[in-house]
Amino acid sequence: MRKIIPTISRTFLSYSVNHHQLYMRQSSPLPLLWIILSLSILLLLPQTVLAYDHNTENDEGQIIIDIHNGDLSQLSGHRDYYTVLIFTSSNPAHDCKPCEQVIPMAEQVATTYLAKYITSELLSMRFYNIDLNDISNAGIFRELKMDNIPHVWLVPPSSRTIGAVSGVYEDGTIEHVFDSPHLKYSLKKASLERQVVEFARFLSEILMIDLHVDDAVAKKSGSGTQSSLSTFAKTFIITFTIVVLIKKKGPSFISNTSRKTVVCYFAITIILLCVGGSQFSIQRQSPLITKDEATGGLVFISGGSMHYQYGIEVFIVGLNYASLAASVIGLIKLGSYQVTESSKIRDETSRTWLIILVSLVIYYLYSCLTSILLKKDPGYPYPFTKLF
């Protein structure tokens, strides 16, 4: 009896191990692919869907903040955000027909902007309405010498080179929004829908963001979230189907690739996308590339600011880092390479020239990275050769 029990235990254990190994060899790769695709889509998908759950209004439930009693204290001091100022009148006695469209237009664009960028710490914008219907605001119009309405201004954030972070100048005066330069949006004589399109386009071009007017209209009708979820579902299903077909019906070097290798390549890809700034481009809804209006040529690298990039730069920087890493690994391998009669490199002279060649490639790739930094910040102190 004592001998039978250990024998049965060993037999059962052996069967369990063999069965598990057989199951692992025969199990479908679909669960792993499902997990990989789920994580990748959640990582790379624009965060518009999540943004609708955030509070996009002020304490009084307003998207556009009204100025009352001529009180401009909210517009004084240092500002780290863009300001949209709306000068209008809701007083029927003023008979301002264009004014009737300004607030609905701004509300639709503001709603779309908040839904897309409320989670972004790099781009912030507030909307204020100065209504002449409040007679106490008349002094503001007189101060600005406004003889007609409506007007829509876009005021950039405070300049740190002029005022302190606290918003107080050297002479003790407080920084004011009207002290800053501003851009005027010219209202069009058109329908409300066209006004929304044009105002969204104006903000998109100035701030280099992407405001889809379709989202604004859909948001008003309550179908914005449904549209985003539908886009997510379609993207997921199409991507998953393509990967499964490639895995099942694709070339042998793909279908026979081990799971470990797939996971490694997937992890490296995600790291390169993150290093290249994919989340920054997604949150800012950066355009892929732009066109230089002066020359007509395509612009792949944004210049003048360290706080912005185009979508194509994610892939440029990621590819550069991948090439740089591969070159460094190759240089290390060449350094320890043993030249023998059966080796691919037959003599030390060839190995030396390969080392020199790979070193020059590394220098060139690093110069590409520093050239990108120089294009954004000409004062970058550690450049190599400026390539563009």
Q: Is residue 306 part of a domain?
A: yes
Same domain for 289 and 190 = no
Q: Is residue 228 part of a domain?
A: no
Backbone angles phi, psi at 208, to 5 degrees: 55, 50
Residue 223 lies in a domain: no
Query: Is residue 49's pLDDT more than 70?
Result: no
What's the burial of 174, exposed, middle or buried (CB within 10 Å: 0-12/13-18/19+)?
Answer: middle
Whether 104 maps to a domain, the answer reads yes
Q: Is 213 among the domain residues? A: no
pLDDT at 276 over 50: yes
pLDDT at 358 exceeding the cut of 90: yes
The pLDDT, as a whole number, for residue 172 is 44
Q: Are 247 and 266 in contact (CB under 8 A)?
A: no
Amino acid, res. 217 = V
pLDDT band for position 21 (cuts 50, 70, 90)? very low
Please name the helix (run of DSSP H) or strand (run of DSSP E) that holds residue 363, with its range, or none: helix 348-376
Q: Which helix (H) or strand (E) holds 83?
A: strand 82-88
Mean pLDDT for the chain overall: 74
Instruction: Tell me which of 207, 234, 263 is where a domain ends.
Output: 207
Bridge partners (DSSP) listed for residue 129: 66, 86
pTM as predicted: 0.48
Cβ contact 185:261 at 8 Å: no
Final residue belonging to a domain, choices 156, 173, 207: 207
Q: What CATH number should be reported for the domain holding residue 191?
A: 3.40.30.10
Strand 151-155, strand 82-88: pairing: antiparallel
Q: In 3D, which of 111, 99, 101 has the Cα closest to residue 62?
A: 111
Distance (Å, whole) CA 106 – CA 108 = 6
Q: Which domain holds residue 144?
A: 65-207
The number of distinct structural domains making up the chain is 2
Q: With contact defined as beta carbons under 8 Å apart, do 120 and 81 qualify?
A: no
User: Of 207, 230, 257, which marks where a domain is finished?
Assistant: 207
- Looking at the fold, whether 196 and 288 belong to one and the same domain comes out as no
Residues 291 and 179 reside in one and the same domain: no
